[in-house]
Amino acid sequence: MARNASNKLLQKAKKSKSDEFYTQLSDIESELQHYKNHFKDKVVFCNCDDARISNFFKYFSSNFKELGLKKLIAACYQEQRNDLFNTEETENGLFFEYTGKEGETDKPNSNDIVHFKGDGDFRSPQSIELLKQSDIVVTNPPFSLFREYVAQIVKYDKKFLIIANINAITYKEIFKLIKDNRTWLGINLGRGVSGFIVPEHYKLYGTEARIDSFGNRIVSPNNCLWLTNLDNFKRHEDIQLTKKYFGHEDEYPKYDNYDGINVDKTEDIPLDYDGHIGVPITFLHKFNPDQFEIIKFRKGNDEKDLSIDGRCPYFRILIKNKRVQNISQADRKKASRQQAFGAMAGDLVN
């Protein structure tokens, strides 16, 4: 019993450490500026946030009237002692509701906070009841529970804007939501998410790690993005295509185990190919559902990784261009003949 208890505590500590990333206000402001029209008369729920220290709460409370919010709710797992990283936790989570009424404070102290009956986990009954009351969820959820977190938001049919590790888009559950046009990438990703505040015990790794003017320890993993189902301008921008497939077939190798061509860079997608195209996962940041259709992820017809001459390129998404320019069979044959003639001429010169 003692050994099992120790193992559980150790696993909890590991998970807690991996999830101790606190979002900077500057990154929140940089992303949220693109969604202001979504918040009028809405209840926003930050369900992984202590209202006293969360920059998400700070952003929404500071912009409460400008956004036209109806209510702001912040809730967190157990109590964080008002200093982000204190390891002495109580057994109860806490939450705070702000409605912007006259005399109501938007900078809560311990006396304003309401304690959950339980630990305040986002899966707890009380937290779920708050979720049901909300319209939009905005937060930085625990990466170690990301699949479960998103599944809950989808189950209760909520709008959301959350931070994720870039690898999350390769999870089959998340990719299916993207494929079905039920979620998509936000505006900022990679270096567009400038870094996270981490505790004293966390190693400052990488060349971009720093301590800011407030003494906060900042780590910039450059591997995060925003995931959302709130509409934004970027997903309606066409990718400008300039390359052609016909006449340049040798530049687009075909897969061994799937009827499709490989493209290594989004900018090289041919404008005249009406079949299936394998593109890198970075394509999703430029994906316009009116321009392209997502077919499947990574696997060929044999359900093995897509391969070319027996070698597998990095993860590929199979897509189809909905707006292929009409090119006649005659023009296609002409382009292919020109390519063949060019190759033959080259052989003669050599």
Pick from 26-30, 46-50, 210-214, 291-295: least confident: 210-214
pLDDT at 153 over 80: yes
What is the value of pTM for the model shown?
Answer: 0.84
Q: pLDDT: is 72 or 9 the higher one?
A: 72
Pick from 61-65, 101-105, 169-173: least confident: 101-105
pLDDT at 116 over 90: no
CATH 3.40.50 in the chain, residues? 11-234
Q: pLDDT: is 292 or 15 the higher one?
A: 292
Structure tokens at 96: 């705070």
What are φ and ψ of residue 209, in 5° steps? -65, 145
Cα separation of 97 and 94, whole Å?
11
pLDDT tier at 119 (50, 70, 90 boundaries)? confident
Strand 196-198: give its sheet, edge to edge: 22-23, 196-198, 217-219, 210-211
Q: pLDDT: is 242 or 88 the higher one?
A: 242
CATH fold label, 11-234:
Rossmann fold (3.40.50)
